[in-house]
Amino acid sequence: MTQGSGQSYWFGVKTGLSVNWQSWGGQSGSSLDRNQLLSIPIDAFIETYDEEGKGSFYAQLGFRTRGTSYRFLNNFGTANTNLEYKFNNLVLEAGVSKTINSLTGIFIPYYKVGLRGEYTMTTNLDNFATFNNVFYPSNDFVRRFPFGFTVGGGFNYNIEDLYGLLFEFTVNPDIGLQYEQPPLGNVRDPFSGQLVTLELQQIRNLSLEFKLGIRFLRKVEYID
């Protein structure tokens, strides 16, 4: 008689802190100072049970607020209050994870590589429509399906056989665009009063994520 496990998997939730950047094209004459935007990532995940240490497959569904914050200088050189552009995205990610032999057996290191597809559900860009100024981004040019990849790693900490904690760090660059606005000519700069041409605006997201999670093992055993 032999006993083993089949169709077992880990599942759980993760959250933490996300530091978000966006790469923008130039905006002539606007004197913008772009800063990172902090947000809270939330994920529910499932991962195959890797009993032999050969690697596992994972999938996760989560929520992210992508974006950037900025401040600008008026004609008197005064820095105005930071404004934030926010893109609220539903995120589906799938990839592979591989544990690394641990010296202690308590904290088990791993690394992961995955692909991401996102859907932008809402933004806060309509908040700036009342200014009637083309220097502010518009929902008309939002790309609803940005995509990219994820690389990172962390540690699994098994409290008991059937549950434990995880600590994770990932880098998440986008390949697809979050926003694309064509060049616009003969635009009056609200700061200088001069007519300028706004360059092509192509925005991609980049984030660093630090997450803590709890995971549970659904272990299926069979007897042969």
As a whole number of angstroms, the distance between CA 25 and CA 45 comes to 35
Average pLDDT over residues 67-81: 64
Average pLDDT over residues 172-198: 84
Q: Give the largest CA-CA distance in the chain.
A: 85
Average pLDDT over residues 169-176: 97
- Going by DSSP bridges, is the β-strand pair 201-218/32-35 parallel, antiparallel, or unpaired? unpaired
Q: How many domains does the chain have?
A: 1
| Percent of the chain surpassing pLDDT 70 | 82
Q: pLDDT-based confidence at 195, cuts 50/70/90?
A: confident
pLDDT computed for residue 102 by the predictor:
60
As a whole number of angstroms, the distance between CA 65 and CA 35 comes to 15
Residue 201 has pLDDT above 80, yes or no: yes
Q: How far from 145 is each of 36, 168, 176, CA to CA, in Å?
A: 22, 25, 8
More confident of the two residues 142 and 7: 142
Ramachandran angles phi, psi of 3, nearest 5°: -130, 135
Average pLDDT over residues 92-106: 83
pLDDT computed for residue 200 by the predictor:
87
The distance from CA 82 to its chain's CA centroid, rounded to whole angstroms, is 21
Q: Are 27 and 135 in contact (CB under 8 A)?
A: yes
Q: Are 199 and 25 in contact (CB under 8 A)?
A: yes
pLDDT computed for residue 104 by the predictor:
57
Mean residue pLDDT across the chain: 86
Average pLDDT over residues 60-81: 75
Average pLDDT over residues 131-138: 75
The 10s digit of each residue's pLDDT in 2-54 is 445 568 999 999 999 999 999 876 544 344 567 899 999 999 999 999 887 78
pLDDT computed for residue 79 by the predictor:
53
* CATH number (domain holding residue 177): 2.40.160.20
pLDDT computed for residue 116 by the predictor:
98
pLDDT computed for residue 204 by the predictor:
93
Residue 120 has pLDDT above 90, yes or no: yes
Q: pLDDT-based confidence at 137, cuts 50/70/90?
A: confident
pLDDT computed for residue 52 by the predictor:
79
* Residue range of the domain that includes 122: 3-223
**What is the DSSP code string of 134-170?**
TTS--GGGB-S--EEEEEEEEEEEEEETTEEEEEEEE
As a whole number of angstroms, the distance between CA 20 and CA 64 comes to 10
